[in-house]
Structure 1
Amino acid sequence: MLSDFANVLIFLIVGCVLVLISVLLSRLLHKRVPTDGKYVPYECGEDSVGDTRIKFNLRFYIIALVFLIFDVEIALLFPWGRIFKQLGLLAFIEMLIFVAILLVGLAYVWGKGDLEWVKTFGRIENESETNDTRET
């Protein structure tokens, strides 16, 4: 068993050494020519129009994060589903707790309204309510 771990450790060390060598060689051998053009974003050979920094909507981040969490859940459920009969009742209860925790998180995000694509902020007053208050 120790020899199996040693093979993995040697592989990791060799990989890290190769990365370090390539980074050091690229720093030593490349030409340093600072120009203003290097700080301009490249857009398929076209000149940039307007500001290239845009505000990224956080709804995409929330949706991607929820997707990633449930994607990892599926990746853990498939191997467990293959052998859960051999694992016994304790493993089944552990997986139920795992899924329940994820469902509580999903209910929280859903209840908070972060999964709705178009959110309404604040209270929208009815036109008849505003007319009634203006008359008095």
Structure 2
Amino acid sequence: MVDLSQYLPILLFLGVALALSIAFVVLPMIVGRLTGAHKPYPEKLTEYECGFPAFEDPRNQFDVRFYLVAILFIVFDLEAAFIYPWAVSVFDIGWTAWISMMVFIAELALGLAYAWKVGALEWE
């Protein structure tokens, strides 16, 4: 039979996390309703970030190129995340680590060259 008392700290942690998340999300909304801060009127609902109304419907889809540039950024950002620990331990690991990282960087360079050739980095 499984001793379920081992899971009690995890259950308590989840309960505290749920209580705090509800408190930080729901409680300010309730306080705002009770104190009168939630009284929308036309001037309060106008644009406040850029100062003028939007040109188009805000639910328009983004161009695919935006997502492609974002994915390329993530790929090369992860490359840096792999290179830092390698650079710290390369002298301890030896030639195998150096050769494997050069293969990794060559693959990324080929991917960058392909994206550049296809025109994925061009923005109009």
User: Residues of 2 paired with 1:47 and 1:102: CA distance?
Assistant: 43
Instruction: Tell me, in whole angstroms, the C-alpha distance in 2 between the residues paired with 1:23 and 1:42.
Output: 30
Task: Select the residue among 60, 71, 76 that pairs with 1:54.
Answer: 60
Give 2:36's aligned residue. Answer: none
Which residue matches 1:21? 19
Matched, 1:107 2:113: yes
- Supply the AA of the counterpart residue of 2:19: I
Q: How many residues align?
A: 101
Q: Return the alpha-carbon distance in structure 2 between the equivalents of residues 53 and 77 of structure 1.
A: 39
Larger Rg: 1
- Tell me the percent identity: 33
Cross-structure match for 1:44: 48
The 5 Å alignment of 1:1-136 reads 14=13, 16-23=14-21, 43-44=47-48, 51-118=57-124
> What TM-score does the superposition give when structure 1 sets the normalisation length?
0.53
- Runs of 4+ residues over 3 Å off in structure 1: 22-27, 41-50
- Aligned-pair Cα RMSD in Å: 3.6
Gaps of 5+ in 1: 1-9, 119-136
Where in structure 2 are there 5+ consecutive unaligned residues? 1-8, 34-39
| Partner SS state of residue 70, structure 1 | helix
